[in-house]
């Protein structure tokens, strides 16, 4: 009989490509990963791993068993979902994440409501950028993730995920109160060709979107400062160090000395929640989605 936890360890190794990556995903030590895999090799009577420089790689037998492990774990998830659905109770543990402004703008309301309505449900949350969060849902490290894309730059979702829309989040330009355009009713991105931009980290989805959008309007961006959090960006704007894109979600309170002006060509980001299709019937998933939607309706 194949041991489920050892198959889970093999699946994690196949997904992450290393013992250390599998250990981080499973929240165990690298020694525990190695022990589990050694026991699995003895269990099946075949070599599953081979040395590869300082790391390891899967043998042909290891890859074959890892493919079966992925399907087996998916079936286990389905079985758990069906049992939870048959019982009809919102119980157990739910792991979810959101990008920072959604964590600040949605989680306090949504998670407090979940705790009040479903006291037997144990919720664990964290902040993650969209790409990392989606990968964590695919791996099974998370049950749900609140993610985003932009009106002109959608994010492709891997197969096997389900999504539900939460809100369309309008974004303005934030500028110092003394900026020449601060008194306008609306502005165009092309008018900021000479301004320094305060943006997100290099390679982050929102940073890449801003660079793509500015260049599509004929503006070669001048990036002065980077900050992952909207409130940090706004404080830099208040100090007169540049301008930034300021979505509504999680923006308030806007610091003194900052003015936000709508764009003539409206800019919105789409905020939605994703989860694995094989967990679709879990009452806890449905309860969390409804709670997040209720919180999203209060944004404004």
| pLDDT number for residue 149 | 92
Pick the CATH number of 90-167+270-297 from 3.40.50.720, 3.30.70.260, 3.40.50.800, 3.40.190.10: 3.40.190.10
Backbone phi, psi, residue 94, to 5°: -130, 125
- Residue ranges per structural domain of the chain: 4-85, 90-167+270-297, 169-268
> And the tokens for 253?
């309170």
Contact 265, 121 (CB under 8 A): no
What would the pLDDT profile of 207-266 be if each residue is shown by its tens digit?
999 999 999 988 999 999 999 888 999 999 999 999 999 999 988 889 999 999 999 988
| pLDDT number for residue 81 | 63
| pLDDT number for residue 92 | 83
Asked if residue 125 has pLDDT above 70, the reply is yes
Note if the bond before 253 is cis, omega within 30 degrees: yes
Domain 169-268 class, CATH top level: alpha beta
4-85: CATH topology is Arc Repressor Mutant, subunit A (1.10.10)
Q: Find the helix or strand (DSSP H, E) in which 118 lies.
A: none
Range of 53-57, 95-99, 152-156, 275-279 with top mean pLDDT? 95-99
Share the mean pLDDT of the chain.
Answer: 89
Contact 143, 98 (CB under 8 A): no
Q: Calculate the CA 226 to chain-centre distance.
A: 20
Residue corresponding to tokens 């503006």? 219
Rounded CA gap, 203 and 239, in Å?
A: 25
Asked if residue 86 has pLDDT above 60, the reply is no
Does the predicted model carry a pTM greater than 0.85?
Answer: no
Q: How confident is the model at residue 76 (pLDDT cuts 50, 70, 90)?
A: confident
> And the tokens for 259?
């003015």
Asked if residue 94 has pLDDT above 60, the reply is yes
| pLDDT number for residue 195 | 96
Q: Do domains 90-167+270-297 and 169-268 have the same CATH topology?
A: yes
| pLDDT number for residue 105 | 92
Residue corresponding to tokens 């000479």? 194
| pLDDT number for residue 140 | 81
For residue 189, the 8-state DSSP code is: G
Q: How confident is the model at residue 26 (pLDDT cuts 50, 70, 90)?
A: confident
């Amino acid at each position: 009989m194949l041991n489920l936890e050892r198959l889970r360890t093999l699946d994690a190794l196949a997904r992450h490509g290393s013992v250390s990556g599998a250990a981080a995903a499973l929240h165990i030590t690298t020694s525990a990963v190695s022990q589990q895999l050694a026991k699995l090799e003895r269990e099946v009577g075949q070599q599953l791993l081979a040395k590869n420089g300082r790391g390891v790689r899967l043998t042909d037998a290891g890859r074959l068993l890892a493919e079966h492990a992925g399907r087996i774990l998916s079936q286990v998830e389905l079985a758990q979902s069906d049992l939870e659905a048959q019982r009809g109770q919102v119980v157990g543990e739910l792991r979810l994440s959101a990008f920072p402004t959604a964590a600040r703008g949605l989680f306090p309301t949504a998670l407090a409501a979940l705790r009040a309505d479903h006291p037997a449900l144990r919720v664990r949350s964290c902040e993650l950028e969209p790409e990392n969060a989606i990968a964590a849902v695919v791996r099974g490290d998370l049950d749900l993730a609140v993610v985003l894309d932009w009106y002109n730059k959608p994010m492709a979702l891997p197969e096997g995920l389900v999504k539900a829309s939460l809100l369309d989040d309008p974004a303005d330009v934030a500028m110092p109160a003394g900026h020449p355009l601060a008194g306008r009713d609306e502005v165009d991105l092309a008018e900021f060709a000479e301004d320094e931009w305060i943006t997100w980290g290099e390679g982050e989805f929102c940073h890449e979107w801003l660079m793509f959008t500015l260049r599509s309007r004929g503006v070669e961006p001048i990036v002065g400062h980077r900050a992952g959090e909207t409130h940090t960006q706004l404080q830099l704007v208040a100090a007169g160090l540049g301008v930034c894109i300021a979505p509504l979600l999680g923006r308030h309170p806007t610091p003194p000395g900052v003015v936000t002006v709508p764009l003539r060509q409206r800019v919105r980001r789409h905020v939605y929640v994703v989860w694995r299709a094989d967990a679709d019937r879990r009452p806890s998933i449905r309860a969390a989605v409804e709670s997040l939607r209720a919180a999203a309706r209060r944004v404004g």
